[in-house]
Chain A
Amino acid sequence: MSDLIRRTAAELADALAAGETSSVELTQAHLDRIAEVDGAVHAFLHVDAEGALAQARAADDRRASGATASALDGVPIAVKDVLTTQGLPTTCGSRILEGWVPPYDATVVARLRAAGLPILGKTNMDEFAMGSSTEHSAYGPTHNPWDLDRIPGGSGGGSAAAVAAFEAPLAIGTDTGGSIRQPGAVTGTVGVKPTYGGVSRYGLVALANSLDQAGPVTRTVLDAALLHELIGGHDPRDSTSIDQPVPALVEAARQGAGGDMSGVRIGVVKELTGEGYQSGVQARFDEAVQLLVEAGAEVVEVSCPSFVHALAAYYLILPAEASSNLAKFDAMRYGLRVLPEGIDDPSAEEVMRATRHAGFGDEVKRRIILGTYALSSGYYDAYYGQAQKVRTLISRDFAAAFEQADVLVSPTAPTTAFKLGEKLDDPLAMYLNDLATIPANLAGVPGISVPSGLAAEDGLPTGLQILAPAMADDRVYRVGAAAEALLTDRWGGPLLGQAPDLTGVTA
């Protein structure tokens, strides 16, 4: 195994700048690693070796002529398969888009290309980002690099596993109810959900567009900040994009890494700790908070009483928006078209029914039908309307909490990674995995998950979630970097250094 794949993106950028390596060399090192372990991990749905190497050559040529496109020029990246990539298949983990090759790039992808990051390929995900385990991918699950019998989280399990298995130094995920942060927690990686509207959603195939947000998946907080600054900022093609500059995130991460937390008020959310949380998860969380206190932070307990209703509100709002967004998969303009059996000259509607029957998996059908119910006449006010009111209450809870504290903290996920198949037939149990991450999506506030150590009872990774007010993304980076520095110091190295090597694993 090449030593290059163990380095962080920031270290790789430095090595490129110093002329110690080339983009082609390090892109090839990651492609080799993918070839070696991805049969067992299955983080990728499509690998674009040729395209990535061509982009790497262009980066090397640029550097040879004395120019660089960005701080991460030449550092390769993996992209969740929910973002459109011109000339490269985009399936959203669904049969209904099998083989579809988009004619345009998502803004995030266009910005990565402009910044010179070779795109290694597209990562596995729950179908249309619906799930907490990546088991709902139509192309088979991703396996957690810490234990191949366990889930890597979802829906961005592919992106998290690619980064945790050293197949990519960086990845892009999307977070609708926690799909960047929860996979980050259970794979020992860093995941950031930016402020809603802080990163363009143009070209992101919508699940629930009032909640969806693309963001970084990395191995360090600094790497996330470097990536976030590249992809963030206003996009006139997305009408919900915030027309304000991105805060100085890299600077905040560097400042935080110094470890001084004096003057920072940390709010522990009473409703997001204790009952329902695995004891090892809770213990690692308490320990991380204690380290921040020793570094000078002031801790206050805050109460957000409406958070207990967040899960219910989310599982009404999300299916409602999804049922509407997924109406575009109608077998007419792109994707699968299935002709119903036994009908001569079928109508468009009959073709649509047959195609959606064959093209959508169980979880997608479940949520579309739930959303159709929540929006139907007679139930609209009791369910969807009420859920939107709960959203207001949750935003008010956040506003009140942020008067008492600069950031709010909780464990990212209530448990460590569960076994593949364990919750597949129990959607409610699966949904519970998102209870700590969902409030941030409903209110649009930014959040990060930082590795917080291994749970004593099963030796699996846990995550520390840090939330800040909208547009104060720099705060999550500052506190996240401090927690990372303090914890890494305690462990004597990065948490992923303790993960299985995977060299020589077979599928």
Chain B
Amino acid sequence: MPEITRAEVAHLADLARIELSDAELDHLAPQLAVILDSVAAISDVAAEDVPPTSHALPLTNVFRADVVVPGLTAEQALAGAPEVEGQRFSVPRILGEEA
């Protein structure tokens, strides 16, 4: 069971696109270590021949009729947006300045 360090938590937060303050990192890292320690036992519970279950229902290829039905109007879809320009979502720049 690998220890989870403060630096690893910072890296994970980066991957998850969440900024964490120093105080949060100090607080979270030991808590995550405790949680991971308690769930670690699971890594040798099931034998290799046990198939994984990702979902309680044995469903495959659920289809419905390909019928056109009205969706949200542009106005409805944009109603909760933090910023709108015309009939579009207005978002911060996606690419870096060098692009």
| Chain A residues within CB distance 8 Å of chain B | 100-104, 196-197, 210, 236, 239-240, 242, 306, 309, 312-313, 315-316, 323, 327, 330-337, 340, 345-354, 356-357, 360, 362, 365-366, 368-370, 372-373, 376, 379, 382-383, 385-393, 395, 427-428, 431, 442-445, 470
Contacts and interface: CB of A to CB of B under 8 A. Distances in A.
Given A309-B45, A345-B93, A392 B50 contact: yes
Q: Which 8 pairs across A and B sit closest by C-beta, in order of nearness?
A: A444-B56, A388-B52, A389-B46, A337-B82, A334-B80, A103-B76, A357-B19, A312-B39
A346 B92 contact: yes
Nearest to A209: B55
B38 A312 contact: yes
B69 to A, nearest CB: 10
B15 A392 contact: no
Interface residues of B, number: 56
Candidate in B34, B57, B62 with the most chain A CB atoms within 10 angstroms: B57
B91 A348 contact: yes
A240 B61 CA distance: 10
B42 A383 contact: yes
B43 interface: yes
Contacts of A350: 92
B51 A389 contact: yes
Contacts of A330: 17
A210 B21 CA distance: 32
B54 interface: yes
B60 to A, nearest CB: 11
Contacts of A366: 28, 31-32, 35
Nearest to A104: B72
B18 interface: yes
B80 A393 contact: no
B76 A387 contact: no
A373 B12 contact: yes
B19 A240 contact: no
B53 interface: yes
24 contacts: A197-B57, A210-B55, A313-B42, A315-B38, A316-B39, A330-B17, A332-B89, A333-B81, A333-B89, A334-B81, A347-B92, A347-B94, A357-B20, A360-B18, A372-B16, A373-B8, A376-B15, A383-B39, A388-B53, A389-B53, A390-B42, A390-B45, A393-B46, A428-B34
Given A365-B24, A393-B45, A337 B89 contact: no
B24 to A, nearest CB: 7
Contacts of B9: 369
B81 to A, nearest CB: 6
Interface of A is mostly: helix
A138 B96 CA distance: 34
B41 interface: yes
Contact of B80 (A102, A323, A372, A382): A102
Candidate in A347, A352, A386 with the most chain B CB atoms within 10 angstroms: A386
Given A334-B81, A348-B92, A376-B12, A240 B59 contact: yes
A310 to B, nearest CB: 10
Nearest to B1: A382
Candidate in A330, A333, A360, A431 with the most chain B CB atoms within 10 angstroms: A333
Given A312-B38, A373-B32, A389-B53, 6 more contacts: A239-B64, A340-B19, A369-B28, A379-B2, A391-B54, A443-B56
A371 to B, nearest CB: 8
A183 to B, nearest CB: 22
Contact of A103 (B35, B46, B77, B95): B77
B46 A372 contact: no
